[in-house]
Amino acid sequence: MGVDNRTAFLHSKRMASHGELRLIGENYDPGFIGMMKEDDGYGSSDDFEGALGNDQDTADNGRPPKKKKKFHRHNPHQIHELESFFKECPHPDEKQRRELSRRLALESKQIKFWFQNRRTQMKTQLERHEHVFLKQENDKLRAENDLLRQAIASAICNNCGVPAVPDEISYEPSQLMIENSRLKDELNRARALTNKFLGRHLSSSSANPSPSPSQGLNSNVEVVVRRTGFCGLNNGSISLPMGFEFGHGATMPLMNPSFAYEMPYDKSALVDVALAAMDELIKMAQMGNPLWIKGFGDGMETLNLEEYKRTFSSFIGMKPSGFTTEATRETAMVPLRGLALVDTLMDANRWAEMFPCMISRAVTIDVLSSGKGVTRDNALQLMEAEFQVLSPLVPIRQIQFIRFCKQHSDSVWAIVDVSINLSNAANALMFANCRRLPSGCVIQDMDNKYSKVTWVEHSEYDESTVHHLLRPLLSSGFGFGAQRWIATLRRQYSSLAQLMSPDIHGEDINTVGKKSMLKLAQRMAYNFSAGIGASSVNKWDKLNVGNVGEDVRVMTRKNVNDPGEPLGIVLSAATSVWMPITQQTLFGFLRNERMRNQWDILSSGRPMQAMFSVAKGPGQGNCVSILRGAAVNGSDTNMLILQETWSDACGALIVYAPVDASSIRVVMNSGDSSHVALLPSGFAILPGVQTDGPSMQPDIDENTSDGCILTVGFQILVNSVPTAKLTVESVETVNHLLTCTVEKIKAALSVTQLGSVE
């Protein structure tokens, strides 16, 4: 937007603000002006009391005591009449003031001062209104300015492939004029040299060409500048690859062209959306009742949708038909510095690694602005991610969104996400099953090396795509809500702090070997989660077999060259069932190696024992372990089991995979874990949520809980030849294994009524 256009725009907004004077006046609180102070002879009215004090009030220095000024508050009738008259005539003349004085039994000076104060109050309200608007405009201009600076700093010359602007440029007008003059001299010398070799006559009129208005910045002049490193800036402006247009015509580069969309999109519009989303997130994080309604006792906060609609306006379109709203907020102390968390959230890979059971895939499509220095202030990027719940009965949420980081003070940051649609608005796939309203976190550094994190999650989704067993979990917010993000964040950073400790239970293992084994366990858990949620990363093919129930998801894929898995045809089967026992009881049973032979066919009925374990957090349940079966008839087995377990308020995980003993020894001796082939299986436990009454924190420890949801998943190699055909018998065998495992768990825990999935 040009300077003249922006000036006209701001002027029109100010004029519109002046047009709101009457509306501001109608909302005016008369208590601000109804109390009048007497001075300048104004206190001679009979309506004022005399000065307080007596002869004993004389000060020690002999001076007479000062009179204490008194105040007079007009009665409601007088205020109403004055307000009514002010709406019609804010500047009454002497005759009108006398008439009001007579009618209201007030002195003329009182009438005069009341109107003066009323006009001052009106002006103050208007200035405050304009200040808010101008501050928003200033934030927008700053963000656009950062984008332009990023574009100039990252420009690449098309001819030579080197940075077009390698050095910092001064944007002061005097420096720009000097630079412009120098560039003209360089241009003239280049044109003269060209014409000399081509045998053309250089006329005085062509020595300083002035492009016509139709040419503008698209003049077909090739600028060649030697001394500053500028070279090959075609068409009189910076030519940037993979660019797209701002609303005012400025071209910006895409930082990651490998993920770029071919269609252009308006970056200035994305800046507007980012600023509006940031404003909404801050208010959602700070406001209390009536926007957020607290449940009974330790109940969760519930968003008041009617109050939300009155407070905020939708800037990403109306709520799609048939969609359900979920909104949660949670605050917690996390043992890390705020800037470290900001860096993690602004890096797609580190963000996905921090929340592996919630994010199956994350990618940065475009970096619109990398922000200011290490603080990442005003960083803005376009992203795409797949969000998941560890159950095959909940579809993956694939969302395109922008992520905006703003540093509000030296110790406070805010990061907000909001869904966008880069394709045609008429596209039927727009927000296919979910869209994310302004969501994110506010991070505040504390003095004790902790950070206070307030997380807000707000989305709208198609509930009809979710199985009825999981609907209460999602509607409560424990599927994708703020409580789950906070619980995962705290567990991950507690694990990081634990891993810094040199204490390791079991056999001796050096630090490098420990990291290598944890990396192997991380890959195992990630592949298990991807198999449960059908992530697009592994490109699973879903199978529909007649003898397999609708509540069981069966998928297959071929591994041809991945050394981290056995070569051949891999079959994945998963289901979720209701268990009428507490999460902690079920978790304790499944992770207990002494009871493993009651449900695990890999144990062959033998008791299992832990060789050693690496703690990943407080409590015995958060660890990575190596298990082996007890020797039978004096013979030892060469097959071990790698297992990772953890539990928190929002769920639990038990994932394991058989591994060769020699491979584990290599890993423990600081070897490379990427070539260890494994196929994970395991369990995910989701908390039970009440289906009626106020939203409550799920109870994972006590027997008062209604129960929990158990997800069982297996990945099995059914054929070592990748080109072989998958048989129906293989599918039925894996499905039978799934059913038998659930029945064995039920029998071992004496669960007589296992919730069915219909």
Instruction: Quote the DSSP letter at residue 515.
Output: H
- The structural domains of the chain, with segments of one domain joined by +, span 85-141, 267-422+433-500, 511-690+705-749
pTM: 0.65
Chain centroid to CA 21 = 38
With b for 16 or more beta-carbon neighbours within 10 A and e for fewer, the 356-383 pattern comes to bbbbbbbebbbbbbbbeeeebbbbbbbb
What's the chain's length in residues? 758
Residue stretches of the chain with pLDDT short of 50: 1-60, 166-169, 200-263, 424-429, 504-506, 693-696, 699-704, 753-758
Query: Which one-letter amino acid corresponds to residue 399?
Result: I
* Residue 151 burial (CB count, 10 A): 21
Q: Give the whole-angstrom CA distance, residue 399 versus residue 317.
A: 16
Q: Give the whole-angstrom CA distance, residue 279 versus residue 286.
A: 11
Q: Give the whole-angstrom CA distance, residue 271 versus residue 276.
A: 9
Q: Give the whole-angstrom CA distance, residue 266 versus residue 245.
A: 6
CA-only gyration radius of the chain, Å: 35
Predicted local distance difference test score (pLDDT) of residue 160 = 61
Q: Give the whole-angstrom CA distance, residue 685 versus residue 651.
A: 5
Predicted local distance difference test score (pLDDT) of residue 259 = 40
Enter the tokens of residue 635. Answer: 């013979």
111: closest CA among 127, 128, 96? Answer: 96
Q: Are strands 651-660 and 681-687 parallel, antiparallel or unpaired?
A: antiparallel
Q: Give the whole-angstrom CA distance, residue 469 versus residue 230.
A: 63
668: closest CA among 521, 524, 508? Answer: 508
Predicted local distance difference test score (pLDDT) of residue 515 = 83
734: closest CA among 716, 746, 720, 719? Answer: 716
Q: Give the whole-angstrom CA distance, residue 502 versus residue 158.
A: 53
3-class DSSP assignment, residue 15: helix
CB–CB of 458/438 below 8 Å?
yes
Predicted local distance difference test score (pLDDT) of residue 126 = 85
The CATH number for 267-422+433-500, chosen from 2.10.109.10, 3.30.530.20, 1.20.210.10, 3.20.20.140, is 3.30.530.20
3-class DSSP assignment, residue 6: helix
553: closest CA among 569, 575, 537, 577? Answer: 575
Q: Give the whole-angstrom CA distance, residue 621 versus residue 613.
A: 11
Q: Give the whole-angstrom CA distance, residue 569 versus residue 343.
A: 39
| pLDDT tens profile 296-329 | 656 678 899 999 999 998 888 888 888 999 999 9
Tell me the CA distances in angstroms from 71 to 35, 45, 100, 107, one per residue in order: 6, 12, 20, 15
Q: Give the whole-angstrom CA distance, residue 27 versus residue 15.
A: 19
Enter the tokens of residue 298. Answer: 């330790």
CB–CB of 582/707 below 8 Å?
yes
Q: For the CA atoms of 71, 76, 78, 83, what is the dihedral angle to 10 degrees?
A: 110
* Residue 70 burial (CB count, 10 A): 15
| pLDDT tens profile 389-442 | 999 999 999 999 999 999 998 899 999 999 987 764 444 345 678 999 999 999
Q: Which residues contact 68 (CB under 8 A, 6 or more apart)?
A: 51, 52, 53
Would you tell me the crossing angle of helices 76-88 and 94-104 to the nearest 10 degrees? Answer: 160
Q: Give the whole-angstrom CA distance, residue 400 versus residue 427.
A: 14
DSSP string, 572-633: EEEEEEEESS-HHHHHHHHH-GGGGGGT-GGGTT--EEEEEEEE-SSSTTSEEEEEEEPPBT
Predicted local distance difference test score (pLDDT) of residue 332 = 92
51: closest CA among 40, 62, 38? Answer: 38
The CATH number for 85-141, chosen from 1.10.10, 1.10.357, 3.40.1620, 1.20.1530, is 1.10.10
Q: Give the whole-angstrom CA distance, residue 317 versus residue 426.
A: 13
Enter the tokens of residue 644. Answer: 């990772």
Predicted local distance difference test score (pLDDT) of residue 20 = 41
CB–CB of 368/405 below 8 Å?
no
CB–CB of 603/590 below 8 Å?
no
* Residue 153 burial (CB count, 10 A): 15
126: closest CA among 5, 27, 6, 8? Answer: 27
Q: Give the whole-angstrom CA distance, residue 416 versus residue 569.
A: 41
CB–CB of 676/663 below 8 Å?
yes
* Residue 432 burial (CB count, 10 A): 15
User: 85-141 with 511-690+705-749: one CATH topology?
Assistant: no
590: closest CA among 655, 528, 642? Answer: 655
Query: Which one-letter amino acid corresponds to residue 442?
Result: V
3-class DSSP assignment, residue 711: strand
Bridge-partner residues for 535, per DSSP?
A: none
The residue ranges of DSSP E strands in 181-303, in sequence order, are: 223-224, 231-233, 244-245, 251-252, 292-294, 301-303
Query: Which one-letter amino acid corresponds to residue 347?
Result: D
The fold for domain 511-690+705-749 equals Alpha-D-Glucose-1,6-Bisphosphate; Chain A, domain 4 (3.30.530)
Q: Give the whole-angstrom CA distance, residue 38 versus residue 237.
A: 67
